[in-house]
Amino acid sequence: MPAERLAIVTGTSSGIGNAVAFQLMSHGWAVIGVSRRDSTIPSPTYRHVKLDLGDLDALTATFENEIAPLISDDRRQRVGLVNNAALIGRLGTIDGTDANEMLRVYAVNVVAPTWLMGFVARHAPRSASLRVVNVSSGAAQRPTPGLGEYVGTKAALRMTTLSAATEFDAKGLRERAPADTALLSYSPGTVDTPMQVEARSPSADQFPAVTMFKGFYDQGQLVSPDQPARDIVAFLESEKAPRVAERRLGEG
């Protein structure tokens, strides 16, 4: 693995995360990817961690034991984290909520990315530039019938990103984490991935917002995963970045 630039990208087996991993490697980054499925990325600069992010014991043990030494290598000049993996959760109204399934969606979409932010803050060399992208959604700010689990997790991750950014300026973490740390809450737009297929599959009786998702597809509004991936990679490579920013597809 090349020494200078290393990124952790979750959800590299599909969609946006897969495109981010390929673009980063073509720019000379080493990538550690995470997903439940096996790797489809044959490259000497790619290392795959086959893991269910909802299994928090496995996540924390694997990263502390196997990944921490790679991140903390003094040769790292730039460390990236792209919290991209997410579950769409239950597509249906609140009266059918399964409490344990909902907890699992929050584990994958909120707890794992939050823990990973703290992990890179602890382990990246202080002299390195640290860039974190948390993949958000328009749904973080838009009530959507039948999408409550997903909406709730994206709103939570968005606010956690904004809150964490203030901690990097507070006494304590400011002295421990890389001084050049920047966070981005990023909404990728409507992207042609398996998650969109899931969202337009149920019946309208089950999932009231299904017509909106069918409309995105029918009206040709879905963009290729390469488009948001370009924005994400540009942020990871940015020399000067504000402590925290919120952006949507195409805003750089």
Ligand X SMILES: NC(=O)c1ccc[n+]([C@@H]2O[C@H](COP(=O)([O-])OP(=O)(O)OC[C@H]3O[C@@H](n4cnc5c(N)ncnc54)[C@H](OP(=O)(O)O)[C@@H]3O)[C@@H](O)[C@H]2O)c1
Residues of this chain that interact with ligand X (CB under 6 A) are: 10-17, 34-37, 52-54, 84-87, 108, 135, 137, 188, 190-191, 193-196
Amino acid found at 190: T
* Rounded least distance, CB 175 to ligand X, Å: 32
First to last CA, the chain: 28
Q: In terms of CB distance, is 84 or 160 closer to ligand X? A: 84
Residue 10 vs 161, nearer CB to ligand X: 10
Instruction: Closer to ligand X by CB, 54 or 152: give it.
Output: 54
Name the residue with the smallest CB distance to ligand X: 15
Using CA atoms, how far residue 185 sits from 36, 81, 131, 132, 164, in Å, is: 24, 12, 11, 9, 11
CA distance 75 to 141: 40
To ligand X, the closest distance from the beta carbon of 12 in angstroms equals 6
Yes or no: say if 39 and 111 are a contact pair by the CB < 8 Å rule.
no
Nearest CA-CA partner of 32 in 60, 5, 6: 6
CB of 207 to ligand X, least distance (A): 15
CB of 92 to ligand X, least distance (A): 18
Q: Locate tokens 């750089």: which residue?
A: 252
Pick 30 or 82: Cβ nearer ligand X = 82
Closest CB to ligand X among residues 18, 181? 18
How many C-beta neighbours within 10 Å does residue 235 have? 21
Cα 128 to the center of its chain, rounded Å: 21
Least Å distance, CB 52 to ligand X, is: 5
